[in-house]
Amino acid sequence: MKFFLDAESRPGIEETYIRPTPAYVELQKHSVDPPGISYIYLLFLDEHSLLVAACWLHQFDDWSSLLEDRKMGKHYFRLIKDTYPTVGQLLDNAVNARYSGGALINIEDPDDGERKWVIGTVVGNVAFRSEEEFMSLLDSERMMEAFVTVLGSSFVAVEEMTTRSIPWTSSARLFGHGFLQGYRDALPLSSVWISRLSNLVHE
């Protein structure tokens, strides 16, 4: 799975691509102005439910040991929630299994077997036994809400994390700030996604 935003690509046309694989369906939104490509993944949980996800690769790996620290874990979690409210809420949703509003979870990437972070939400009680049913599902209001949830949260999280800093203790490892900084200039791409999602399967 790819990071949810490729800000370096320069597509020649505005287009939405649907790429199916045995494990997931990749949705690519190619934007000319502003330039870039956004990705959403639909992973099949069972015959009636999907995980709709925006992939963050290994960006939160350094946080795991901090949050699991028996003495300081709660302190670090408060710092994250105070500094990055969106990410903090996504973490809180994951801990409490509240996926409808989006959650930051760690899953196995079917492509390479590595565990990676995604901002995801679950869409259940749906049917996709045929191509017709699947395309109808993609164009449904529930899926549009799911797309907005995972991408909207992802773009807001990038904005928060490139404009704010956590006052970690000197012994703590910093988040991958440099990696994300390059994506801040591409944030207008979020408005392209959100405003055109209703035309996802028709462009």
For residue 149, which of 110, 193, 189, 115 has the smallest C-alpha distance? 193
Instruction: Report the number of distinct structural domains present in the chain.
Output: 1
Can you state the angle between helices 189-196 and 141-163, rounded to 10 degrees? Answer: 170
User: How many residues are listed for the chain in this entry?
Assistant: 203
Q: Find the domain containing 40 and state its range.
A: 5-199
Give the 3-state secondary structure of 9-43. CCCCCCEEEEEECCCEEEEEEEECCCCEEEEEEEE
Q: Tens digit of pLDDT for each residue in 102-155?
A: 999 999 999 999 999 999 999 999 888 888 888 888 888 888 889 889 988 998
Greater model confidence, 191 or 47? 47
pLDDT score recorded for residue 150:
93
Rounded to two decimals, the pTM is 0.82
